[in-house]
Amino acid sequence: MSSRTMRAVGIVTLVLAALLGTAYALGRGLVAEMETQTTGSAADINSTHYADQPPVTDLSPTPSASPSPSLSPSPSPSPSLSPSLRGRGSTVEGDGPYGSVSSTGSSRVALTFDDGPDPQYTQQVLALLRQYRVKATFCVVGENAESRPDLVQAIVSEGHTLCNHSWQHDVALGSRSPDTIRNDLLRTNEAIRAAVPNARIAYYRQPGGEWTRPVVSVAEDLGMTPLHWAVDPVDWQMPGAAQIAKTVLTETTPGAIVLMHDAGGDRSGTVEALQYLLPELLSRFQLEALPTGTT
């Protein structure tokens, strides 16, 4: 074989080797990209957010009113639906799912905060409410109340109303047996009262708004009014402070109960929205903590 031929063969060999190396590198890059898109980050998978639980809609009959609040303005409330009229054995029904209460029964507006207490965001919400001299209602999760009794004490000492929000934010609690529901609600009340003895817990809010006849019945039998809402800015989805504020201001009418969250995930958007919402709402409405009645 001539030297010219050998040189040509060598050049071809080098070119083929380079092409094969490039193809191999591209292939590994594509595989790595596909794996990243499929698995995501460990933080996204393992982090727990109460409000991120999907609603359970197939565990009970569909009520005549949808458990999910409408994003259209709420109708004017009826004075006969005042939560203060509800109680053990009461036949008064609210205008929410399964007779739950979604209005204050007056011209006043009630702000409610779910899923706490949280060591970061609950304190920030309390500070803003204190700044604007607004009283609100906090629907607390039992295990959070147990781990942060100091925050439960702060909520009560500053004149806010307490609401039972189940032990562990069990969206499917309403589909369980009456005994299981009762034990869950009693355990939560006990955790709250361990922090604040003789605390008046006048309300129960079902996680996810997934109300059923049994959970309403048990709550009322324990002396708690089933508490729904009229305005939901879906702040748990973190739409941003501007969108949260816009939804609340657009949809709040006299008598509305407004749902927001002080725990269960990143609530910095809610806190930021409150800085604008509180003075604006005060210019339009009287804000109140839902009444607790007598102990």
Q: Which of 95, 118, 261, 262 is catalytic?
A: 261
Contact call for residues 104 and 77 (beta carbons, < 8 A): yes
Q: Could you write out the three-class secondary structure of 134-158? A: CCCEEEECHHHHHHCHHHHHHHHHC
Closest CA to 226 of 290, 146, 142, 270: 290
Q: How far apart are CA 232 and CA 174, in angstroms?
A: 21
The answer, yes or no, to whether the previous bond of 61 is cis (omega within 30 of 0) is: no
Q: How far apart are CA 159 and CA 134, in angstroms?
A: 9
Q: Which residues, other chains included, contact 192 with Cβ-Cβ below 8 Å and sequence gap of 6+? A: 140, 142, 145, 152, 162, 164, 199, 201
228 in active site: no
172 three-state secondary structure: coil
Which tokens hold the place of 150? 């100091």
Contact call for residues 141 and 166 (beta carbons, < 8 A): yes
Query: How many residues in the chain?
Result: 295
Phi, psi dihedral angles at 285 (to 5 degrees): -140, 165
114 in active site: yes
Q: Which residues pair with 113 in a beta bridge?
A: 138, 260
What distances in angstroms separate CA 63 from CA 6, 23, 97, one per listed residue?
85, 59, 6
What distances in angstroms separate CA 59 from CA 9, 62, 211, one per listed residue?
73, 9, 10
Contact call for residues 228 and 102 (beta carbons, < 8 A): yes
Q: Which of 114, 170, 232, 235 is catalytic?
A: 114
Active-site amino acid positions? 114, 261
